[in-house]
């Protein structure tokens, strides 16, 4: 797939030439090539490349164990004016910062509202994990969607917590060097938000910086001592199709009727 960036207002105005060919078994995939002419080359600054990398990272779902299909992203640079990128191929992974959280709550909600979650406290030592079982009640006019898997990573943002974040092993995936405090804060600012996925595919704009679709900031204003703000959370919510739970429920019902 090859196309040239032009000055347009909407993506639908960009002409995209697509070609396909047969691939060996197990070697299928999509290649997107972005070519810059000499007069457009100045657009691709290091800041723009980092922005592209960050956007690609957000496409990666952390719920690898729930999917059979692989979704790998590799970013290659050819004749790039920046030496650290030139003639290199980088595998795009989810933000490395997600592994160095202070607190985490992860679990699932079944198609009939039964929730099981585990709370982890990494900010303090020797704190056991806590399991939470609950039943979600919806208003009469609402219905449950399919099974939901969620994983919310929470970060303290005070100076001491940022330093601890770096000491845990936070490095730049390209340079393989430890980040500075300013870089770590910047990474948090770029990565925060609760991303929404449908069967592993990200749904925008949920999770984009500044979009607080769960209204965490609004709730925190009302109770700042016990609530977290949107910019403290790197979260992932994956919703599976409602048909999965419906079909399972029908099978169970048939089994009961046979008995």
Strands (E), 50-93: 73-76, 89-92
pLDDT given for residue 1 in this prediction: 42
Residue 161 has pLDDT above 70, yes or no: yes
Strands (E), the chain: 2-3, 33-34, 73-76, 89-92, 103-109, 114-121, 130-135, 148-154, 193-198, 201-203, 233-239
Name, of 31-45, 64-78, 227-241, the range with top average pLDDT.
227-241
pTM equals 0.68
* Per-residue pLDDT tens digits for 90-129: 888 777 788 889 999 999 999 888 999 999 999 888 899 9
Task: Return the structure tokens found at 173.
Answer: 């995936």
Distance CA 57, CA 73 (A): 9
Residue 182 has pLDDT above 80, yes or no: yes
Q: What angle do CA 168, 48, 207 make, to 5 degrees?
A: 60
* Residue of 152, 62, 156 whose CA lies nearest to 102: 156
CA separation, residue 251 to residues 66, 143, 242 (Å): 22, 20, 15
pLDDT given for residue 41 in this prediction: 60
* Residue of 194, 196, 237, 232 whose CA lies nearest to 212: 194
Q: Which of helix, strand or coil describes residue 241?
A: coil
pLDDT band at 249 (very low <50, low <70, confident <90, very high): low
More confident of the two residues 197 and 129: 129
pLDDT given for residue 128 in this prediction: 94
pLDDT given for residue 63 in this prediction: 60
pLDDT given for residue 3 in this prediction: 44
pLDDT band at 244 (very low <50, low <70, confident <90, very high): low
Distance CA 152, CA 232 (A): 10
CA separation, residue 202 to residues 96, 98, 149, 151, 197 (Å): 18, 17, 14, 14, 4
- C-alpha torsion sign, points 226, 231, 233, 236: positive
- C-alpha torsion sign, points 150, 155, 156, 161: positive
Mean pLDDT of the region 234-239: 89
Residue 152 has pLDDT above 90, yes or no: yes
pLDDT given for residue 211 in this prediction: 86
Q: What is the residue extent of each domain of the chain?
A: 2-95, 97-246
């Amino acid at each position: 797939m090859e196309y040239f960036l032009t000055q347009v207002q909407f993506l639908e105005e960009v002409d995209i030439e697509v070609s396909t060919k047969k691939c060996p078994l197990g070697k299928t995939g999509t290649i997107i090539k972005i070519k810059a002419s000499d007069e457009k080359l100045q657009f691709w600054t290091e800041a723009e490349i980092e922005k592209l990398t960050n956007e690609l990272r957000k496409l990666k779902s952390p719920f690898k164990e729930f999917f059979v299909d692989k979704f790998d992203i590799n970013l290659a640079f050819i004749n790039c004016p920046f030496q650290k990128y030139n003639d290199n191929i980088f595998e795009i992974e989810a933000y490395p910062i997600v592994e160095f959280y202070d607190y985490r709550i992860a679990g699932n909600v079944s198609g009939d509202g039964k929730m099981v979650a585990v709370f982890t406290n990494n900010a303090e030592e020797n704190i056991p994990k806590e399991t939470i079982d609950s039943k979600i009640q919806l208003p009469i006019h609402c219905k449950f969607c399919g099974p939901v898997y969620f994983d919310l990573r929470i970060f303290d943002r005070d100076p001491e917590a940022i330093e601890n974040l770096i000491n845990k092993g936070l490095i730049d995936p390209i340079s393989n060097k430890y980040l500075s405090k300013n870089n770590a804060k910047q990474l948090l600012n770029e990565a925060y938000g609760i991303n929404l996925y449908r069967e592993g595919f990200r749904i925008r704009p949920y999770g984009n910086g500044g979009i607080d679709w769960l209204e965490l900031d609004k709730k925190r204003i009302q109770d700042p001592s016990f609530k977290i703000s949107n910019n403290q959370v790197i979260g992932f919510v994956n919703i599976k199709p409602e048909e999965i739970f419906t079909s399972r429920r029908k099978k169970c019902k048939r089994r009961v009727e046979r008995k």
